[in-house]
Structure 1
Amino acid sequence: MIVKTLDDVLGTEHEVKGGNWTSRRLLLKDAGMGFSMHDTLIHTGTETLIWYQNHLEAVYCIAGKGEIEVLPNGPTYAIEPGTLYALDGHEKHLLRAEQEMRMICVFNPPLSGLEVHDENGVYPAPSAE
């Protein structure tokens, strides 16, 4: 059994900060669960290009307000507490935060922990380890 709190992650290498977001990585590839789970903050007033070409992601908003715009031509969906979206088609998108959003994110395949977006909003393909 794995038991962990957010406090176990804060201030460690598993609290990964990008320019527009902070990802507190609670459950990673090394846990052997087949997915990873993250408590992520999307900072107020930001717009982030994301395109998970190598991962599927499901996101559940628990606080804040924003929107997700599917690229290149929409649609755009409002995000608020209680909203879930799943990128089941590797959709390229813009994530905008009107208010700081707190999101619970699940990735398959799981992240190893230190990934950050490249210039195209992509996380690297998982290694075969």
Structure 2
Amino acid sequence: MIVRDFNELKKTDKHVADARWTSTRMLLADDGMGFSFHITVLEAGSEHTFHYKHHFESVYCMKGSGSITDLATGETHAIRPGVMYALNLNDKHVLRADEELHMACCFNPPVTGTEVHRADGSYAPAGEAA
């Protein structure tokens, strides 16, 4: 059994920050679960372009409001508490936080915790250096 405290993890190297967002990695690849689980907070007024070419991601909004735009179709969806989206086609997207967004995120394959976003908004494939 794995039991972790979000508030304690925020004081460790499992709490990472990038351009106007933070992510607390609750589960990572070395936990052996087959997915990683993160709590991510995006700053109000921020906009992020991501393209997880090598990962599937599902995201559940716990707090805040914003939108997600699928860049392939131009379709935009509202994000608010209770809304989940899944990037089942490695969808390139823009995520906007109108209010501070608190999101629960799962990645498959799991991330290691050392990834950084590449210029195109992706993470490196599993086993390849960031």
Partner of 2:66: 66
Partner of 1:119: 119
Q: Please say if 1:89 is aligned against 2:82.
A: no
Deviates more, 1:69-78 or 1:90-99: 69-78
Please identify runs of 4+ aligned residues in structure 1 that moved more than 6 A: none
Q: Is the 8 A contact 1:13 1:114 kept in 2?
A: no
| Cα distance in 1 for residues equivalent to 2:106 and 2:50 | 15
Shift of 1:13: 1.0
* Total equivalences in the alignment: 128
Partner of 1:108: 108
| Cα distance in 2 for residues equivalent to 1:34 and 1:72 | 28
Partner of 2:10: 10
Q: Is the 8 A contact 1:35 1:108 kept in 2?
A: yes
Identity %: 45
TM-score between the two structures when normalised by the length of structure 1: 0.96
> Secondary structure at the residue paired with 1:99?
coil
Deviation readout 1:8-59 (Å, 9 max, x if unpaired): 2112111110112101000000100000000000111011010000000000
Unaligned runs of 5+ in 2: none
Deviation readout 1:66-90 (Å, 9 max, x if unpaired): 0000104410000000000000000
| Cα distance in 2 for residues equivalent to 1:60 and 1:116 | 22
What does residue range 41-60 of structure 1 map to in structure 2 within 5 Å?
41-60=41-60
> Secondary structure at the residue paired with 1:8?
helix
Two-structure CA RMSD over aligned residues (Å): 1.0
TM-score between the two structures when normalised by the length of structure 2: 0.95
Q: Is the 8 A contact 1:52 1:90 kept in 2?
A: yes
